[in-house]
Amino acid sequence: MVWPAATAPSAVLNVPVAARVISFVQPTPVGLVPIGIVYQPGNAVSEAEANDMERMLTGGFTLGRATLRTRRVAVSNLGQLASTKVAFITTGLRAHQDEVAAVASAQSILTITADAGCVVAGRCIVGITGASKTQIIVNKAAAHRSRIRFGSAFLMLVKEV
């Protein structure tokens, strides 16, 4: 996957890798895949990260037979995640991770973040970390609670906790 210079990977969440992770969900997503970018209004870091994620996927992004479309969801209004299949969780939301996890589990939403602590704590399903060397962490229990399954080839490439 080649990204134009204007959409180079995010300094926080590696959005191109996050997009590829979605393609390993079983069954493979097809058609429109709505993605909620969960952020905290008024939190400059969270807002900047949400801006970066939106910019990366502006106008949608096609991956195989799926088209990814994003929209922002304020952490204070998680009900807006109802029609999403994936949620990118910005960093700096530790105080709200339990709420996000509860909504994601109830609605079978794949959560992806750069906050490894969220994944280790079982509140997020996938964590993508590292600037020079990307590492993907998957929390098996969180995935099970949200009824998210990944292909075996993907699971051989990641660290499971």
Q: Please tell me the distance from the alpha carbon of residue 16 to that of residue 14, in angstroms, as a whole number.
A: 6
Residue 43 phi, psi dihedral angles, 5° rounding? -95, 105
pTM attached to this predicted model = 0.90
Distance between CA 84 and CA 87 in Å, rounded? 7
Please spell the DSSP secondary structure of 5-48, one letter per residue: GGGPPPSSS-HHHHHHHHTTEESPP-EEEEEEEEE-TT-HHHHH
**Do the Cβ atoms of 33 and 82 come closer than 8 Å?**
no
pLDDT in single tens digits along all 161 residues of the chain: 333 333 333 447 888 899 999 999 999 999 999 999 999 999 998 999 999 999 888 777 888 899 999 999 999 999 999 999 999 999 889 899 999 999 999 999 999 999 999 999 999 999 998 767 899 999 999 999 999 999 999 999 999 99
